[in-house]
Structure 1
Amino acid sequence: PIAKGYKSQSEEAQALVSLIKEDIAGGIATNEIAILTRTNSQLELLESALDAAGIENQIRNSERFFNRPQVREIIGAIRSASVLSESDWLSDLRDCLKPFGQSEYVRSFMQLAGELEAEGLTSLRAFLRELEERSETNNPPILPGVALATLHAAKGLEWRKVYLAGVSAEVLPWQASSIDEERRLFYVGVTRAQQSLALTYYGVASPFLAEAGLVN
């Protein structure tokens, strides 16, 4: 991996936007990319920068996907529709999801439904069973957009391309936490990438970067 420093947080954010544009142009899907940070406030600046550039993104939090209120509401609607659904189950699914607009959850369910139909799924009841099994195993459908997550929320998740951002001395290690816990969080961040990892910081680099031999 490489570590690159910037003068300010906003300069770092703009650099990350440029890098992600290059990733997308190179054929990497947005949902295969993640930006990880130590704090939620760091994510908010990155979210604004991506929004301004027209790059779809979604903040991942540690709450289980299937426990989210809107997801539970959507599954309830699918359960009701499955009772009457007959031949054209994808059309029935679209109809029952219309009241929820084009939220990221609706799009993720429709994408999953299309994939399962291509694999031979033939009814809305079977789709509902698939969702229930995924809920039990905490295996959510893939949400669209670049993932934005704190190091805490990224535990157990992986992406093809990961940017570990804001690895700066002022936030990592976080002063209110133990140095060992902060080092473990840093380790979580650097092990989330399946193929490619890049680290960025603004101002003074985190001492963890020096420990890892990534800065002088």
Structure 2
Amino acid sequence: MSVYLGQKAPEFFVNTTKGPVSLEDYKGKWVILFSHPADFTPVCTTEFMEFARKYEEFKKLNVELVGLSVDSIYSHIEWMKDIKDKFGIEIPFPVIADINKDVARAYNMMDEKTGSTVRGVFIIDPNQIVRLMIYYPAETGRNIEEIIRTVRALQINWNRKLATPVNWKPGEDGIVLAPGTLEEAIAREKSGNKTWYLKFEQVN
């Protein structure tokens, strides 16, 4: 099984630092499933701390965070404890111990050469459809603000059926989908719109 954009996210039932979890548990919510190469690694540590700092912002957006690597549950627990002890930051979201690599392979998260997970991000909508996939190189940390921006853009599409233009930021106009017929295109131009294929609309 492989994951594809716009298709149903592969189901999972797994052990995590918060106990057993399944994808079905999150139906009706947005989910960010993200993988990291290994516990106790420098880039991953900075990412986990930033995800934790932004946790409440994600929750306000109806987003659940779920981390993953192929490390054991004991490794995850020890790493979470170390982050709290050394940096004073508690990791509030579950982290999957995917020791059999089933979820990592289903979501194309595995680097089979190294045997570790890649730095991946998947945004899954409330109907459990994959709406975004990003893969980062191991040496490049994720931009958490960009992930939040993307969630907000996807939610505008979900709630208002609007797309978002280049460099869109919350509060800016969205884009109405292009007409599907000649008649609709002509009507849009007659309404005073500059072009038939690009029309902006206020989001708020």
Length-normalised TM-score, structure 2? 0.28
Structure with greater strand percent: 2
Length-normalised TM-score, structure 1? 0.27
User: Which of 1 and 2 has higher RCO (CA within 8 Å, sep 6+)?
Assistant: 1
Structure with greater helix percent: 1
